[in-house]
Structure 1
């Protein structure tokens, strides 16, 4: 595939990740075909690495018309609208928005019947591998013997807790054990909570400073403990991974894909 011909659109191009995406698309040799903003104005680039100015739209449907792929790290409130517009346009979708409800996810699933969609809570290759390992470890370490806990820390401005990445790790642990996360999740412990239940998947959430993201999954038995930890030093890793996904998905048919597919793990 000649990646220079891939036309990539960036939803929310003025956002923190949107600005990095613009630079990473250029660095990857692809084309920044356009971006979307609320007011139709693109803020000036902070460096020459962002490349030349591109068309700006307020409508995701208009952006979709000029792109092969749209990368979307916007807001959960836009998911259903974006799903419909991109499916109608036949434009592939790289979706990094988290916090989706059942109706939001249903809209993504419906779009994937018509277009190629890569959906991930985190586009870091390291987090993708960590999540896969967490699933394998959970399958090998029974909940009756090994307690599973997930610890995460993010910057003080983060509004959701647990993070989408922490939930993705929790879902991987649940998948490995053949259970459903929502039925075994312990995200709030306060007061006299009683003993820990078998198969419980615990979450601890820390917030402070400007930490980009730290995640650990910890399996503890009466005799040993195994931990996996990932630390993000820069949000650019998410942008780099998303652009890699956009270049990969451009030639794929309709379907719902993950970063494991992009990395050749599935």
Structure 2
């Protein structure tokens, strides 16, 4: 376990990382290493990962003393919090292990079904969890702006959400785009499941003004762009957030870790972490 040369390890947030060998895993490990109040306590990856057994910070040219492991007990032994940006099935397996061990979680994984989201909510009865489709502070402030805009532009404006991500992203629309839609729908008193439109092709007919449209672009190495268009008669309002680096997700995740230090159990999101809940 990575510790400072001297000092009480209890004064640090002991953080484990799932998907430690991936791009987001590397970004998280680097952010933890750079944080003055956090220490890397565990690193999880799938058994087939070629990095199993290697030092989790080897890619940085440093030794953390934490090997990458596929064994839950080993990776979570010293951890207070697990940060997980993997896949739904993997996250749920990690959730079970954390729940059994009393380890809190920060979940940035997207693509969950309603039943899987309920499973996470159920775990919140025993452990504290922050789950958000996007951990970026800027994105979550954007969500608050969208809530305000939706209430002010409730009539006379058509709403479209356009998102763009890299070619490797496997789910669409993005979890962030869906969350934006949920925030807007809630502000308007609508049910997103009833008003969302995810594809248009052929003769679609006139646009239903009560709908919220989604468009997804996949290509290149786009980290994540989201634009919400409020299109009225004679004017358009666009609220846009663009991510240039995954480091924003890592920094937001560490803010969630610090928030969880004060929570015993419950399911929270980044509005709670950032004090944006009204």
TM-score scaled by length of structure 1: 0.93
Q: Shift of residue 205 of structure 1?
A: 1.3
The number of equivalent residue pairs is 263
Q: Provide the C-alpha distance between the structure 1 equivalents of 2:95 and 2:46, rounded to a whole number of angstroms.
A: 18
- Report the CA distance shift for 1:99/1:132 in structure 2 as closer, same or farther (over 3 A): same
- Does the 8 Å CA contact 2:135/2:253 hold for their aligned counterparts? yes
Q: Provide the C-alpha distance between the structure 2 equivalents of 1:201 and 1:139, rounded to a whole number of angstroms.
A: 14
Query: What RMSD in Å do the two structures reach over aligned CA positions?
Result: 1.8
> What residue in structure 1 maps to residue 184 of structure 2?
173
Q: Provide the C-alpha distance between the structure 2 equivalents of 1:244 and 1:33, rounded to a whole number of angstroms.
A: 17
CA offsets 1:116-175 (integer angstroms, 9 cap, x no match): 100010011110011111122112212x41111001111122221111111111111111
In the alignment, which of 232, 235, 250 is matched to residue 243 of structure 2? 232
- Report the CA distance shift for 1:141/1:55 in structure 2 as closer, same or farther (over 3 A): same
Q: Provide the C-alpha distance between the structure 1 equivalents of 2:67 and 2:59, rounded to a whole number of angstroms.
A: 18
Gaps of 5+ in 2: 1-8
Q: Secondary structure at the match of 2:149?
A: helix
Gaps of 5+ in 1: none
Matching of residue 139 in structure 1 with residue 146 in structure 2:
no
- Report the CA distance shift for 1:82/1:157 in structure 2 as closer, same or farther (over 3 A): same
- Report the CA distance shift for 1:107/1:60 in structure 2 as closer, same or farther (over 3 A): farther
Q: Provide the C-alpha distance between the structure 2 equivalents of 1:256 and 1:44, rounded to a whole number of angstroms.
A: 30
> What residue in structure 2 maps to residue 249 of structure 1?
260
- Does the 8 Å CA contact 1:137/1:176 hold for their aligned counterparts? no
> What residue in structure 1 maps to residue 229 of structure 2?
218
CA offsets 1:76-99 (integer angstroms, 9 cap, x no match): 112332222211111110000001
- Does the 8 Å CA contact 1:17/1:235 hold for their aligned counterparts? yes
CA offsets 1:32-55 (integer angstroms, 9 cap, x no match): 00111112334663324x652314
- Does the 8 Å CA contact 2:144/2:276 hold for their aligned counterparts? no
Q: Provide the C-alpha distance between the structure 1 equivalents of 2:247 and 2:65, rounded to a whole number of angstroms.
A: 20
Q: Secondary structure at the match of 2:177?
A: helix
> What residue in structure 1 maps to residue 40 of structure 2?
32
Matching of residue 126 in structure 1 with residue 134 in structure 2:
no
Q: Provide the C-alpha distance between the structure 1 equivalents of 2:236 and 2:220, rounded to a whole number of angstroms.
A: 29
TM-score scaled by length of structure 2: 0.89
- Does the 8 Å CA contact 1:3/1:247 hold for their aligned counterparts? no
In the alignment, which of 59, 67, 70 is matched to residue 46 of structure 1? 59
Q: Provide the C-alpha distance between the structure 1 equivalents of 2:72 and 2:232, rounded to a whole number of angstroms.
A: 50
> What residue in structure 1 maps to residue 30 of structure 2?
23
Q: Shift of residue 223 of structure 1?
A: 2.7
> What residue in structure 2 maps to residue 113 of structure 1?
125
- Does the 8 Å CA contact 1:33/1:55 hold for their aligned counterparts? no
Q: Show the 5 A alignment for 1:4-83.
A: 4-29=11-36, 30-39=38-47, 40-42=52-54, 45-48=58-61, 52-83=64-95
Q: Provide the C-alpha distance between the structure 2 equivalents of 1:258 and 1:102, rounded to a whole number of angstroms.
A: 16
